[in-house]
Amino acid sequence: MGSFILRRIIYVIPALIAVSLISFLVIAVPPGDFVDRLAEEAAKKGDIMPLAEIEAMRRAYGLDQPLLVQYWSWITGVVLRGDFGYSFGWNLPVKEVIWPRLGLTVVLSLASLLFVWVVAIPIGIYSAVRRYSVGDYIFTFLGFLGLAVPNFLLALALMYVAFAWFGQDVGGLFSPEYIEAPWGWGKFTDLMAHLWLPMVVLGTSGTASVIRVIRANLIDELHKPYVTAARAKGKGEFALLMKYPVRHAMNPFVSGQNDIFVDIVSGGTIVAIVMGLQTTGPLLIKALMEQDMYMAASFILMLSVLVVVGTLLSDLLLAWLDPRIRYQQG
Amino acid sequence: MENLVEIRGLRITFAGAVDVVQGLDLDIPAGKTLCLVGESGCGKSVTAKSILQVIDHPGRVSGGSINLRQTDGSVLDIAKTKPTSPLMRQVRGGDIAMIHQEPMSFLSPLYTIGNQISEALMLHRKISEKDARAEGIKMLEEVGMPDPARRYDSYTFQLSGGQRQRAMIAMALINKPRLLIADEPTTALDVTTQANILDLLGELQRETGMGVLFITHDLGVVAEIADEVAVMYLGKIVERAPVRELLENPKHPYTKGLLASMPRLDGDFKAPLKAIPGMVPPPALRPAGCSFHPRCEWARKDMCGHVAVLETDLGANHMVACHAYGPQAHKFSRVSKVVDVGAPVAVAKKAVGKPLLSVRNLHKHFAIRAGFFQRQVGAVRAVNDISLDVFPGETLGLVGESGCGKSTLGQTLVGLHRADSGEVQFADIDVRAAKGAEAKQLRTDIRMVFQDPTGSLNPRMRVRDIIGEVLQVNGNHSAAEIEEKVQGLLARVGLSPDYAERYPHAFSGGQRQRIAIARALASDPKLVIADEAVSALDVSVQTQIINMMKELQAELGLTYVFVSHDLGVIANISDRVAVMYAGRIVELGETDQIFRNPRHPYTEALLAAIPGRGARKTGARIRLTGHVPDAAKPLAGCAFADRCRYVTDACRVNVPELRGEGNHLDACLRSEELKLRSVSQTEALVSA
């Protein structure tokens, strides 16, 4: 097991190097850079920047260096000093913009994932065991509805309902008075009060797909020989269901969780814009449009790291759950 | 004598309308072993499951009674008890326990075997986990699990097939049930392991005095373990008698047919086998009258096809359900046809002339990778220095336990694996160096038939394309030529030519294997390698296929390499036999020499393990313990030394070479001094 974990962690390193290189190149390779954008903006105002000034700005920001040199100085800064570079757009070090946003993104994503599990697992088990019952059809219908309705539409509808019928303050993750406030109990409860709406919106499609996955896996397992064997031992139906088929059906479910997590993290952008959430999505869009390269590359890097770490975690969880993986690959 | 369970008029219905079992009567005596015999599809397993009320959806017991005599003398009708009721749960695993065919799929791989064994105990007795563990380990010891305290915490995939079956037996017996239902518990095991498990079940039955309902399709196993036998056909008992009576004096034509289709190891091995024609029809198409009449050679049109059969008591506990013994018995002559000896059966061919296939010092190793960088840390020597010749027109049988390398050898010869070193010469072609036209010729001259006819036929292709593919790929044949060839081949393997349009799923297992054989023959090959080609088939179908392969060989002059773990089949079809162990050939000779005069202790042990050899005295038995050594470990001396009863110190040092006079070779250092037992010296019990 130890060797298995260690090997898995070591496999992560080349993945991270590749991810960082690609996220930087994706931003830097397209023609034009931040200085071009500045010059364009200035030109629109009738203020033509002299070429010398443009060149001087490029030198100042290090944009005249070869790409690989730029990448190297950026990535060494990230790894050695935790310095993600400087955001041209915000005129602030990237890390000061990024960390609070990233924290909220992770909290929201994990909350959504939790929501998915709490709702989808019992429903999935119910649907599999009572296949083709009225309840199964209802949940199946609701599930497909959840899959089909676009997130942002659901967001708009829920916001309207919450505002018009319950008079709740919607939009954003905090009430206005807490946005700039330091962390404290008040701010925490305020966050919780706002979190449920985006959590439900982001979790809905995941819930629908997890229900289908669990239902399908479990139906395959319900008639496996080991179930008959356990029944022939005299085990009660519910205890049997939980110990054998459900446990077996968990494996494909666990390995699928990372995909859902990625969906939630990256799929949240439009919802975040619609709902005015202070997560990473809207910021990334802005950085990409402005060709704020360090900002954008850092965001993509961080999100990719989240995905790689998520994969690692779900692999480790799977190894913990399934002795076949533990003993045969270790 | 008291009956533990009395089944009367049992009906089991599937999916609303189809009766799989229809009016079954069966008494299970206490303290004895009752064998339930029949081909697959006869309803044996589902009957067994009905006793525990664990039939899978959509099947259910729809009529009749299953009366279980309780310890206090009262009677419980299981058929009327709710499957999920606490009462039923108490019966399951407590009074009646069950073991199954495939311990790998009937035990969960996610929990240790100890967990699953103790669970059975804790469901029926209030006991602490610690005590349950101690009991579980004790039980594992009783079923002969080596190192039980450590194995208790093992997972199924860490155990060998025999150990898994022992774990499942421990799980079933831990509550000391009064009835054990064993559903083909040894079918998936090697013949040597099977012998050990049968011994174990016999011992446990004698010690505990429990009743055993043992389901099997193998009459050799029946001879080994049964006190009484019930033969089942399409959901009904057609004959029932004490074991000796049934095997020596069978009455029902179905029982006679089953016995006649078994490969024999007494008398002439090669005597052509008599197959029961046709196959078990699906329950939805159960014939009227006597359901066996379409396959019966005694059947009379005027009654068997429409008059229902009644049971006839022949005295001495012998019961038969056949019109030929009923009130109208005088109308039947009851004469069975003798097998047509004039059929084109190849006379034993001598290994003469120039070999068709010549193998010298062949090696095939599989790398074992481990550690961080998946470096090669060792090799499994699946084929280890093998030399042999195959002569034109003969059948060479390759036999051995699973893991001995026989399949790898077959696959390497046909080119599915690339050999690591050695020479393979086919006709005039150096197989390992062949390129271009030569390689193409090899692909059409050497063909293979696989074990699993379901997995080896592409379900998305029509039969015509499956058979004709090799012609489309190799050489230029017109569509019309291929069509003609396919039609001819289908007729040749006994299938209707208009089957060419169909897809494989439309066929039964035996028919699929016929298609697979037609595919192998499509390119007019010289050599056919059959890898366990009949192992997955029912005995009567197996016999049909063996007979067909022999006929094809005689007609087309084919050469076969026949890989099988079944010694009866090998004896029947082979001219020469190579016995393999741990990647090597340990004995090679003509079939008679191998079976009548074995020279290697491993061959002797294999022969002794064949069930139904009659040696019921434990002292007279030769049993192999353990299993084929890990082919990854370097060998010192003879690979068989650890399991050999004749082992000396020299055996652990010197590697025996395959040597001998004439054409009977062996690889045993002591073969000259040893006097080994053969099949002819043991009592041959099965005689139809």
Looking at residue A246, its pLDDT comes to: 92
Q: Where are the alpha helices (DSSP H) in B557-685?
A: 567-573, 591-596, 601-609
Cβ of residue A328 closer than 8 Å to a chain B Cβ: yes
For residue A7, give Cα distances in angstroms to A11, A264, B370, B374: 6, 28, 11, 11
B235 Ramachandran zone, left/alpha/beta (phi>0; psi -120 to 50)? left
As given in the structure block, the two tokens for residue B126 are 């209030």
C-alpha torsion sign, points B136, B138, B142, B144: positive
Q: Nearest-5° angle of CA B610, CA B241, CA B45?
A: 65
Chain B residues with CB-CB distance to A under 8 A?
49, 52, 54, 56-57, 84, 89-94, 97-98, 100, 102, 105-111, 116, 119-120, 123-124, 155, 157-158, 168, 171, 371-372
pLDDT at A33 > cutoff 80: no
Task: Judge: B372–A7 Cβ closer than 8 Å, yes or no.
Answer: yes
Looking at residue B528, its pLDDT comes to: 92
B101 contact partners, CB below 8 Å, separation of at least 6 = B183, B184, B185, B187, B188
As given in the structure block, the two tokens for residue B79 are 């058929």
Give the span between the Cα atoms of A20 and B681, in whole angstroms: 76
Cβ of residue A44 closer than 8 Å to a chain B Cβ: no
Q: What are the start-end ranges of the E strands in chain A? A: 86-87, 92-93
Q: Specify the higher pLDDT residue, B371 or B539.
A: B539
B350 contact partners, CB below 8 Å, separation of at least 6 = none
Looking at residue B688, its pLDDT comes to: 30
Q: Least CA distance to B89: which residue of chain A? A: A234
> Contact at 8 Å (CB) between B50 and B65?
no
As given in the structure block, the two tokens for residue B536 are 């997955």
| CA-based nearest distance B42→chain A, Å | 20
Contacts with B56 from chain A: Cβ below 8 Å = 223, 228
% of chain B at pLDDT higher than 90: 12
Mean pLDDT of all residues in B572-582? 90
% of chain A at pLDDT higher than 90: 9
Average pLDDT, chain B: 83
Looking at residue B632, its pLDDT comes to: 64
Q: Least CA distance to A234: which residue of chain B? A: B89
| CA-based nearest distance A115→chain B, Å | 27
- pLDDT bucket at B633, cuts 50 / 70 / 90: low
> Contact at 8 Å (CB) between A215 and A243?
no
Count Cα atoms within 13 angstroms, Cβ side, for B486. Answer: 26
Q: What one-character-per-residue DSSP string does B303-340 give? A: TTTTSPP--EE-STT-EE--GGGSTTGGG----PPPP-
Of B89, B108, B123, the CB nearest to A244: B108
Contacts with A235 from chain B: Cβ below 8 Å = 89, 93, 119, 123
Which of B85, B89, B108, B369 is the best substitution to test chain A (most A C-beta atoms within 10 A)? B108
ω into residue B629 within 30 of 0, thus cis? no
Looking at residue A330, its pLDDT comes to: 43
Q: Where are the alpha helices (DSSP H) in A223-246?
A: 225-232, 237-241
Q: Specify the higher pLDDT residue, B309 or B612.
A: B309
For residue B199, give Cα distances in angstroms to A253, B130, B568, B613: 43, 31, 20, 13
Looking at residue B562, its pLDDT comes to: 92
The SS3 call for residue A59 is helix
- Summarised one tens digit per residue, pLDDT across range B323-372 is 888 777 777 777 777 665 444 444 545 556 788 999 998 888 887 776 66
Task: Judge: A223–B56 Cβ closer than 8 Å, yes or no.
Answer: yes
C-alpha torsion sign, points B425, B555, B688, B325: positive
C-alpha torsion sign, points A224, A226, A227, A228: positive
Task: Judge: B124–A236 Cβ closer than 8 Å, yes or no.
Answer: no
Q: Least CA distance to B156: which residue of chain A? A: A324
- pLDDT bucket at B374, cuts 50 / 70 / 90: low
Which of A8, A9, A224, A233 is the best substitution to test chain B (most B C-beta atoms within 10 A)? A233
Q: Where are the alpha helices (DSSP H) in B156-313?
A: 161-173, 191-208, 219-225, 243-248, 253-260
Cβ of residue A238 closer than 8 Å to a chain B Cβ: no
| CA-based nearest distance A222→chain B, Å | 10
- Summarised one tens digit per residue, pLDDT across range A193-209 is 888 888 888 888 888 88
Mean pLDDT of all residues in B426-454? 86
Mean pLDDT of all residues in B11-27? 85
Looking at residue B682, its pLDDT comes to: 45
- Summarised one tens digit per residue, pLDDT across range B36-46 is 998 887 888 88
Of B92, B109, B124, the CB nearest to A231: B92
pLDDT at B60 > cutoff 80: yes
Looking at residue B345, its pLDDT comes to: 47
Task: Judge: B155–A244 Cβ closer than 8 Å, yes or no.
Answer: no
> Contact at 8 Å (CB) between B561 and B527?
yes
Give the span between the Cα atoms of B627 and B619, in whole angstroms: 21
DSSP label at residue B414: H
Mean pLDDT of all residues in A258-265? 76
| CA-based nearest distance B560→chain A, Å | 37
Mean pLDDT of all residues in A40-64? 81
The count of other CB atoms within 10 Å of the CB of residue B391 is 19
% of chain A at pLDDT higher than 70: 98
Q: What one-character-per-residue DSSP string does B500-529 give? A: GGS-GGGS-HHHHHHHHHHHHHTT--SEEE
Of B93, B124, B158, the CB nearest to A232: B93
Looking at residue B686, its pLDDT comes to: 41
Cβ of residue A52 closer than 8 Å to a chain B Cβ: no
Which range, A322-326, B276-280, B586-590, B611-615, has the best average confidence (pLDDT)?
Answer: B586-590
- Summarised one tens digit per residue, pLDDT across range B192-233 is 888 888 888 888 888 888 999 999 888 888 888 889 999 999
Mean pLDDT of all residues in B545-566? 88
Of B57, B158, B371, the CB nearest to A327: B158
Looking at residue B111, its pLDDT comes to: 92
Looking at residue B152, its pLDDT comes to: 92
Of B57, B89, B100, the CB nearest to A225: B100
- pLDDT bucket at B280, cuts 50 / 70 / 90: confident
- pLDDT bucket at B610, cuts 50 / 70 / 90: confident
Count Cβ–Cβ pairs < 8 Å, chain A vs chain B.
80
Give the span between the Cα atoms of B46 and B51, in whole angstroms: 9
| CA-based nearest distance B453→chain A, Å | 23
Run of H or E including A173: none
Task: Judge: B56–A225 Cβ closer than 8 Å, yes or no.
Answer: no
Contacts with A224 from chain B: Cβ below 8 Å = 105
| CA-based nearest distance B171→chain A, Å | 8
Task: Judge: A232–B54 Cβ closer than 8 Å, yes or no.
Answer: yes
Alpha-carbon dihedral of residues B434, B440, B446, B450, nearest 10 degrees?
110
- Summarised one tens digit per residue, pLDDT across range B504-535 is 888 877 788 889 888 988 888 899 999 888 87
Q: Least CA distance to A320: which residue of chain B? A: B110
Of A7, A232, A234, the CB nearest to B90: A234
Q: What are phi and psi of B332, to 5 degrees?
A: -105, 135
Count Cα atoms within 13 angstroms, Cβ side, for B59. Answer: 18
> Contact at 8 Å (CB) between B429 and B440?
no
Task: Judge: B93–A3 Cβ closer than 8 Å, yes or no.
Answer: no
Q: Residue count of chain B, please give it.
A: 688
- pLDDT bucket at B561, cuts 50 / 70 / 90: very high
- Summarised one tens digit per residue, pLDDT across range B643-658 is 888 888 888 888 888 8
As given in the structure block, the two tokens for residue A286 are 């802005």
